[in-house]
Structure 1
């Protein structure tokens, strides 16, 4: 059986927490920020966890992280 490889794009985007959940950054924070309210941009700064339906897929991409 071949060696497992980490998906390099997923490794840069996701981190695992101490309890095993997967942490991600929020989307829609890259451009056209002048049209978005400041309380929305503050909320976009915070990270959140990946949805439970995607947890298994992403953990397969980052087996060693």
Structure 2
């Protein structure tokens, strides 16, 4: 069997934790900060762990994760 390829878009956007969960950057933080509240901006720092439903979709694109 040949090696499976990882989707390049998923490789750049997501990381897998040691326990197999999927980490990603916070949504809604790319532009338009002027219209967001300070509380929203503060809470969207760093990374977040995807929900199980979303993680299942992402893991299909990362076969050796």
Shorter-normalised TM range: 0.7 to 0.9
Query: Cα offset for 1:11?
Result: 0.6
Which position in structure 2 is the counterpart of 1:29?
29
Structure 2, unaligned stretches of length 5 or more? none
| Superposed displacement of residue 46, structure 1 | 2.8
Measured after TM superposition, the shift of residue 52 of structure 1 is 0.8
| Unmatched 5+ stretches in structure 1 | none
Mapping 1:1-65, distance limit 5 Å:
1-65=1-65
- TM, length-normalised to structure 1: 0.83
Moved over 4 A (4+): none
Matches of 1:36 and 1:19, distance apart in 2: 33
Question: What is the Cα-based RMSD across aligned positions, in Å?
Answer: 1.5
Q: Which of the two has greater strand per residue?
A: 2
Count of residues in correspondence between the two structures: 65
